[in-house]
């Protein structure tokens, strides 16, 4: 294998590694966004239940 092929292969490997890191970072960001959305949903649900007078019962049992 000549040095041109070796260089092209190593560049390709570096590009694949960078793409994998970006995909993992995006996946991590997506998980964080889902966690935040679920937390917001939980807070909104709690406020709604409290406004209906169910909040105190929820705190005692939850």
**Domain enclosing residue 29, as ranges:** 3-61
Mean pLDDT by 10 residues, the chain (62 residues): 80 91 92 94 93 70 56
Q: Look at the pTM and tell me if it is higher than 0.85.
A: no
Structural domain count of the chain = 1
Widest Cα–Cα separation across the chain? 77
Place of tokens 């092929």: 5
| Residues with Cβ within 8 Å of residue 46, at least 6 apart in sequence | 55, 58
């Amino acid at each position: 294998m000549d040095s041109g092929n070796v260089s092209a292969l190593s560049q390709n490997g570096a590009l694949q590694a960078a793409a994998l890191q970006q995909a993992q970072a995006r996946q991590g960001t997506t998980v964080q966004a889902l966690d935040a959305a679920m937390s917001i949903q939980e807070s909104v649900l709690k406020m709604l239940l409290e406004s209906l007078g169910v909040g105190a019962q929820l705190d005692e049992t939850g």
